[in-house]
Structure 1
């Protein structure tokens, strides 16, 4: 990363982001390939955290909601679980669901299967506009004790929808957008079905999980499958307290993850201050880049004050750099390089570093450092492919192709652009969105 010190960010935008909001043409899903066709057999990263840390993670994931409310008792489904699909099921909805179910069976040891009738977990596909009218800030979500969108709309504040009151899970409703990209649909299936079967919280401090609102991980990881296996072990029972679960976790993790006993890394500090979370949410949801930058700077100040050295500090640095104004280009570069360095030291964060490398690669392209672009995209593409992130992979391939063209390797550049098309359709949802990404990258090259 020392080579990046020559980059000059002043006057440059932070480069393309991994997943633009496209205008979705649902018919393109008939042309898009499935995850299995694009990426082949899953190649997950095995859990790299210590069992002591994972025990702490499970307790924080399982006994608190994202809102911060405490959950007093352990809850889950008992016995075999059935799942069904409803609503406007998109062309690849069944294929992606069945692939996920097969992974849950094989990697987490769950007794779950899809049926054509009414399953205990009902997955309903709802148009995005309708979903956002009802729940403006949610791309997808899971609720207990109901099995249809109409049932939710009839009484969205019903006491039965309160997860803190649930002891034994009998029914759950997963809401997924019907007209999103294949990648967005798949991501929602992974996270929301996993939450129906396991813990309900998201934690910014854990990089190797989909239960993290930074959204870097897009499919269930080895960490996630281990947590689901432990969560559904017969040694745990619905109604247990946090203390009772804590007493049994060391034995369960020793059995399900013996390699974790040999990891002696120090435990991450917890919990995360509410002020930091609100600052991150403000940065991600602000109406202007300037406001996002102010929020990101606030989050970074809190992270530094807390003396964190984990994903929370890296994400604060990443957002501060991404939203920095042109006059702060040098500081933004330093923040990006430090974020990459921290992610490189944290377990299971290869895809996080790939996102940072995408931004650094965009700046390298804009400053004519094409050999550096090739270096940055090389390892980043491997991580994007392994984590099945089509939008990120297509962006990296187009970035790399542009530098190859600038180096007069036009044949290799054309081949790479052609190879990126199926990943772009899968990740961006339309040919136009993919072409817009290519145009953004070509504009960066013209700045040099």
Structure 2
């Protein structure tokens, strides 16, 4: 079973100056249908031109091997497994509004950008990949910490329950993929559904591992990227290259992949390899503890500091060092605003040098926008929000976009332009409903942001 972890993802949406309990994933009220009108992201991109993936080919080869021949829990895989031939994908269960649309967009991207032979299943057809929607409570009984997850060799939750604990649903025993099922909550926000589709379909088709060192990928449990990136599409294109086949060992793949990468990414030939070492388990545990929902605030702050200490001792200069600074900033914002701001800036400086790091910087700018409002600096808040909003829209994160728009509205209010503030709050509503879910959750978020802004007017 491979799953998308809920607790770290949720932490990124919450504001640093609000109670951390407010960072729980949004729930969709069953009697409040989610409105999708007004939510229009950029059209699906074409596969990037030569050299558009800003990684050296030696690094791409190493990343591909590390993603392919291990699982998220650290267990190694002896051979590559993939679907051979056409792959159909279908929806089942209590399918939420908008899921079919988002799946259609994803399939089009997989076809156009990764060159995969994937298609929507025909009515009545048993698909190769079944995406079944069930209430979160039902899924948590089999995977308590997962937002969503994928299982091989089954087509339904009932079938998974009957085979749970057997080799039949063990990815380590799969030689050739023929069937897989993805389980997604039916009672969560549309964005969480969309994000689960992207990550779990990618893992059902391709690599089963996540690597914290990757900056521009959904194959990373930091979850800054919510939809498949150009790097991810390149990984999938490599995974289904005709030179590879199911059953190949790591050594055999390592011989072939450099030539595949060179053909697909000729611009990376002259770029150096990142020599970053492995990620110790102690750092991963510290990060997940600090940004999780378990334990006291003091224990989580200690865990964040431990992660940063490990990163410094390892001499990292990559995504992991930035994420360590980010974790410390998150955990100190409520008690030491000066320290938090310094840590956010340290993280942003590293992220700005990483491929695709603009979305990470935008996340930080959202946090700094909230801090500026709370400090009574609406002009700084407006500037930061204006910098982040176009980046976030380009990266298709509706929850973050709505949060930034609402923060900007509070800044405009403080600057004496209530009409513009009201118009922006209205414009934010479709994004907020897509990103957070129910009307009740959206209103709660608006109240939280207004509370942050009021602190600034009293300072």
Q: 2:283 aligns with which of 276, 280, 290?
A: 276
Contact 1:187 1:218 in 2 (8 A): yes
2:402 — aligned with what?
A: 394
Q: 2:36 aligns with which of 32, 35, 39?
A: 32
1:132 — aligned with what?
A: 140
Contact 1:28 1:425 in 2 (8 A): no
Q: Deviations over 1:216-245 (max 9, x none)?
A: 100010001111011001100111111211
Q: Which runs of 5+ in 1 are unaligned?
A: 1-12
Superposition pairs of residues 429-444 of structure 1, within 5 angstroms: 429-444=437-452
Relative to structure 1, the CA distance from residue 327 to residue 194 in structure 2 (aligned partners, 3 Å threshold; closer, same or farther) is: closer
Q: 1:51 aligns with which of 54, 57, 65?
A: 57
How far the C-alpha of 1:28 sits from its partner, in A, is 4.1
Contact 2:34 2:438 in 1 (8 A): no
Q: Which runs of 5+ in 2 are unaligned?
A: 1-14
Relative to structure 1, the CA distance from residue 288 to residue 249 in structure 2 (aligned partners, 3 Å threshold; closer, same or farther) is: same
Q: Deviations over 1:58-106 (max 9, x none)?
A: 1111101011011111110001111121111112121111111111011
Q: For residues 367 and 334 of structure 1, what CA distance do their matches in structure 2 show?
A: 15
How far the C-alpha of 1:204 sits from its partner, in A, is 0.8
Contact 1:314 1:342 in 2 (8 A): yes
How far the C-alpha of 1:15 sits from its partner, in A, is 3.0
- The Cα RMSD (Å) is 1.8
How far the C-alpha of 1:329 sits from its partner, in A, is 2.8
1:94 aligns with 2:96: no
Q: 1:74 aligns with which of 75, 80, 89?
A: 80
> 3-state SS of the aligned residue for 1:143?
strand
Q: 1:376 aligns with which of 384, 397, 402?
A: 384
How far the C-alpha of 1:325 sits from its partner, in A, is 6.4
Contact 2:401 2:431 in 1 (8 A): yes
Q: For residues 358 and 203 of structure 1, what CA distance do their matches in structure 2 show?
A: 25
1:6 — aligned with what?
A: none
Relative to structure 1, the CA distance from residue 393 to residue 240 in structure 2 (aligned partners, 3 Å threshold; closer, same or farther) is: same
Contact 1:268 1:310 in 2 (8 A): no
Contact 2:42 2:394 in 1 (8 A): no
Structure 2 length-normalised TM: 0.90
> 3-state SS of the aligned residue for 1:83?
strand
Q: Deviations over 1:387-442 (max 9, x none)?
A: 11000000001111111111112222112111100000000001221222221121
- Count of residue pairs brought into register by the alignment: 433
1:10 — aligned with what?
A: none
Q: Deviations over 1:236-285 (max 9, x none)?
A: 01111112111112211121122222433x41413100111111111122
Relative to structure 1, the CA distance from residue 428 to residue 85 in structure 2 (aligned partners, 3 Å threshold; closer, same or farther) is: same
Q: For residues 387 and 42 of structure 2, what CA distance do their matches in structure 1 show?
A: 19
Q: Deviations over 1:12-53 (max 9, x none)?
A: x8235896533312454452248xx42131358852212111
Structure 1 length-normalised TM: 0.93
